[in-house]
């Protein structure tokens, strides 16, 4: 899975550094058309921007590019890409307050039973791994990803 390999290559990137700015600049110049016509700022939340850059670099078919997690989910839902079952390479969507307010997105790196390893941009202002149970009530769902050939 190219998307996982690409996400792993960004591990350790810290917000405010040149590598973080490179992620934002890549989104603003390579994602066409720019979703909502919005140019992401270096100070914006960037989890969806990070996921979009990884999808674009992995040549994902029908990628729900966005800088907004709720809009990313809506695009994926429209394309029938949403699921409740995790798989490595899929996007994971979080709802931290279990209040139907979609808050964060990451890329599933590994699934081991109910244990997930996820790579996320803007996790404590950097690209980091998170280990989480697939049974957690803060997981809203997953977006199925199909990479280009």
Q: Would the pLDDT of 149 be above 70?
A: no
- Convert the pLDDT of each residue in 75-110 to its tens digit: 999 999 999 999 999 999 999 988 889 999 999 999
Distance CA 145, CA 71 (A): 16
Give the angle subtended at the CA of 29 by the CAs of 27 and 35, to the nearest 5°.
Answer: 60
- Convert the pLDDT of each residue in 111-136 to its tens digit: 999 999 999 999 999 999 999 999 99
- Convert the pLDDT of each residue in 21-79 to its tens digit: 999 999 999 999 999 999 999 999 999 999 999 999 999 989 999 999 999 999 999 99
């Amino acid at each position: 899975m190219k998307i996982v390999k690409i996400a792993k290559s960004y591990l350790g990137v810290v917000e405010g550094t040149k590598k973080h700015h490179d992620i934002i600049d890549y989104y603003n110049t390579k994602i066409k058309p720019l979703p909502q016509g919005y140019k992401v700022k270096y100070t914006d939340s960037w989890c969806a921007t990070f996921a979009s850059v990884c999808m674009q670099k992995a040549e994902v078919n029908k990628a729900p590019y966005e800088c907004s997690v709720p809009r990313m989910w809506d695009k994926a839902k429209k394309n029938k890409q949403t699921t409740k079952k995790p798989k490595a390479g899929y996007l994971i969507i979080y709802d931290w307050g279990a209040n139907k307010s979609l808050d964060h997105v990451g890329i599933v790196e590994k699934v081991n039973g109910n244990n997930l390893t996820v790579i996320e941009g803007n996790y404590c202002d950097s690209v980091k791994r998170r280990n989480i149970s697939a049974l957690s009530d803060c997981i809203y769902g997953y977006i199925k990803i199909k990479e280009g050939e």
